[in-house]
Amino acid sequence: MNERGGRTGPHTISVPVLIVGGSLVGLSTSLFLGRLGVPHMLVERHAGTSIHPRGRGNNVRTMELFRVAGVEKAIQEAAATLAVNKGILQTPTLTGDAGEWLFKDIDPGGGLARFSPSAWCLCSQNDLEPVLLDNARRHGGDLRFATELMSFDAGTTGVTAVVKSRETGEHTTIRADYLVAADGPRSPVREQLGIAHSGPGDLFHNVSLTFRSRRLADVVGERHFIVCYLTNPEADGALLPVDNRENWVFHAPWHPEQGQTLEEFTDERCVEHIRRAVGVADLDVEITGKAPWHAAQRVARSYRSGRVFLAGDSAHEMSPTGAFGSNTGIQDAHNLAWKLAAVLDGWAGDHLLDTYDAERRPVAEATSARAAARSAEHSHPGFAAPAGAGGGPQRGILNVALGYRYPQGAVVGADPAAPVVPESLDLTGGPGSRAPHLWVRHGDERMSTLDLYERSLVLLSDADEPNAWHEAAIRLADELALPLRSYRVGTGTQADLVPEDAADWAERHGTGPGGAVLVRPDGFVAWRSPAPDPDAEQVLRQVLRTGLAVG
């Protein structure tokens, strides 16, 4: 470990950040912190990464984050088996011509390329987690599996935790500046902190069945779906391909509220249920695994308690339809990581960490409601939706996945009354929104403007002379000891970034000639000015101090 972390005794370790939980969100937190040079430890009670094919839908915003973190290509390679699977099918059975596609292609016509350099990726959790684990360790993460959090005490100056190796029984004391709880929906950390939930609670219950069937691929044929909702009232369920050949997952409805027990899901009953749902009475089915799961709509009432933060399922539970929960959790981790790095490195004040709750909790509340509505739209097995739920297949999906905003938080000039999820997709550079994507040349390199945002604040301004915003950014980066990069955009001789096809960068970012846009390390717009300002340095200094909670 570097000077920010190390051993203080034979069984005591000091580290800036302790992450509890090593699933998708914990591993993502580790990766993002490692990329920012923040020493940390992760503990996970299980012996390894997930072995169950679940949590497969990675939306475009998540893939943008993985792109900037350098793992997008590796994830795409891990997901190659399901690369052809694009749509969602709803049908009584897989025999005959009945049924309809809720959508046949997640990005028909390739229109998403106007907004992003990335695309949705269907990568199951058991394939994704090893990629994250490998890269998190490459970036210096101290990741310890088969290690359980036994207790923690959070004080005003730090957190003291005791963890136990489940292999050796050895106890180790961890002293951390901050603790990130990514320890799941039944989070012991959240329970100890006494943080309550809002939301309606449990929605429905399913049992996830993994099975083998060589003949099912012939029944499915060329219908390469992400998921197929089988609606036979006597045997409904959701069918998901694992390899499009012989490995499959089937979500069967489970009704514990009616007294139904897990013991009733015998192999024989599950085989018969799958056969009836598919519509082939003699289909070869070999059950290989069973895992009960619960869909819920809950959001923690606070994401921060002193030096402890909640992320992922410990902070919010959502219906799985649309994979909103895992994506929201990964985006939680990304939002929190740069703020922890900024505070630990001394270029932001502690109150910046309060904006994690102010920004991410409203997103979870809006997204969890959308996830429940999507389950109603898709008639998810086991979900008896309230009357009036839904609103039409795929209504506003991109707005939720990519267009959400932070009306309040570490932004200057945003409308605090604006909706978190707008009615239409608006990626035009407004403060609090994800910065626009634009292909540019940086020297000999072709890149997206989104590739600029990770390790520093970024100021974009015109390539014309004079440029007071650019000069102010350079002086303030030195004066305030900030990681602040300034790029002049345009076609002039002073240009650092040259847009492709002579695109008007200022128009795309909602500003005008001589204006400027300040973008945070997470790719969200912190502030913008539509025009030059005679006191550019003082204006920018105040924006930085306000946004970073300095002074």
Segment 387-430, tens digit of pLDDT: 444 444 444 688 899 999 999 999 999 999 999 999 889 999 99
CA nearest 427: which of 527, 327, 529, 525?
525
User: Any bridge partners for residue 304, and if so which?
Assistant: 309
Which of 208, 187, 210 shows the shortest CA–CA distance to 26?
A: 187
What is the distance between the terminal CA atoms of the chain, rounded to a whole angstrom?
Answer: 31
Tell whether the torsion through CA atoms of 362, 335, 497 and 482 is positive or negative: positive
Residue 50 is predicted with a pLDDT of 85
Q: What is the mean pLDDT of the chain?
A: 92
Most confident of 100-109, 176-185, 253-262: 176-185
Q: Which residues lie below 8 Å from residue 104, measured CB to CB, with a gap of 6+?
A: 86, 87
CA distance 459 to 518: 5
Dist CA 124 CA 54 (whole Å): 5
- Please classify residue 198 by burial: count the beta carbons closer than 10 Å to its beta carbon, then call 0-12 exposed, 13-18 middle and 19+ buried: middle
pLDDT above 70 (res 81): yes
The pLDDT of residue 295 is 85
Tell me which residue of 246, 320, 322, 259 sits closest to 288, measured CA to CA. 246
3-state secondary structure of 305: strand
Taking the C-alpha atoms of residue 29 and residue 356, their distance in angstroms, rounded to an integer, is 14
Q: What is the DSSP letter of 495?
A: -
Q: Which residue shows structure tokens 């679940």?
A: 54
Supply the pLDDT for residue 394: 44
The residue-averaged pLDDT of 27-50 equals: 97
Is the pLDDT assigned to residue 204 strictly greater than 90? no
Please give the DSSP secondary-structure letter assigned to residue 111.
Answer: G
The number of beta carbons lying within 10 Å of the beta carbon of residue 101 is 16
pLDDT tops 70 at residue 215? yes
Q: What is the pLDDT of residue 3?
A: 43
Q: Which helix (H) or strand (E) holds 13?
A: strand 12-20
Residue 281: per-residue pLDDT: 96
Write the secondary structure of 132-176 as one string of H (helix), E (strand) and C (coil). HHHHHHHCCCEEEECEEEEEEEECCCCEEEEEEECCCCCEEEEEE
Which range, of 44-53, 185-194, 359-368, averages the lowest pLDDT? Answer: 44-53
- Across 7-11, 53-57, 199-203, 403-407, least confident range: 7-11
Domains of the chain: 6-83+119-194+298-401 (3.50.50.60), 199-296 (3.30.9.10), 439-547 (3.40.30.120)
Instruction: Note the pLDDT tens digit of each residue in 276-335.
Output: 999 999 999 999 999 998 888 999 999 999 999 999 999 999 988 777 889 999 999 999
The whole-angstrom separation of Cα 450 and Cα 472 is: 23
Tell me the mean pLDDT in the region 512-536.
97
Q: What is the pLDDT of residue 5?
A: 57
Q: Across residues 362-386, what is the average pLDDT?
A: 75
Residue 309, pLDDT score:
98
pLDDT in tens, 476-503: 999 999 999 999 999 988 999 999 998 9
Given the structure tokens 């101290």, which residue do they identify? 142
pLDDT score at 537: 97
Q: For 23-37, 183-197, 285-299, which range has the lowest pLDDT when averaged over its residues?
A: 285-299
Rounded to 5 degrees, φ, ψ at 231 are -110, 15
DSSP 17: E
pTM score over 0.95: no
